[in-house]
Amino acid sequence: MTQTRAADPAADRALVQLMSRVLPVWMRHLASSREQSEAAVAQMLTAFGELVPLMAPAQRDLRPEPGLTEPIERMYQGFQYQDRVSQMVALLQQDMERLLQALALGDTTLNAEQWLARMESGYVMAEQHHSHHGKSANDPDETTFF
């Protein structure tokens, strides 16, 4: 059942202000997450493709093929990227849920600066802070493991 709320100009202004500041940040994070996910999947597919011909000789000799190490390392990097993307998406999901709860309660004390500061306090990666402020990361090819 859909409930309608009484028009409250203060709440409406706060919501508009909040959403106009927060949605662009969400969109940047989602775009960054999507790009990283696509790159990680492509990297893993390439690595898996390179492993297949190397595994047959390794199984015969029971010695690791010299070219086997690099594709396996790239696979691990791909899995790490996927983990990073998962963390980014989970943080955005939690923030969206928090907003939905505030809206459901009719909170008229919404403040964009406080909301964004609280959101940023949950970041664990430098690239999230860069994205939050609309800046690109220093080295897009750098992988930071944590």
Exposure of 25 by Cβ count < 10 A (0-12 exposed, 13-18 middle, 19+ buried)? buried
Res 121: pLDDT: 92
What is the residue type of 20?
Answer: S
Here the tokens at position 20 are 């106009």
43 pLDDT more than 60: yes
Using alpha carbons, select from 44, 109, 131 the residue that is nearest to residue 80: 44
Q: Which whole number is the average pLDDT over 120-138?
A: 85
**What pTM value is reported for the model?**
0.60
Res 28: pLDDT: 85
146 pLDDT more than 50: no
What is the residue type of 133?
Answer: H
Res 113: pLDDT: 92
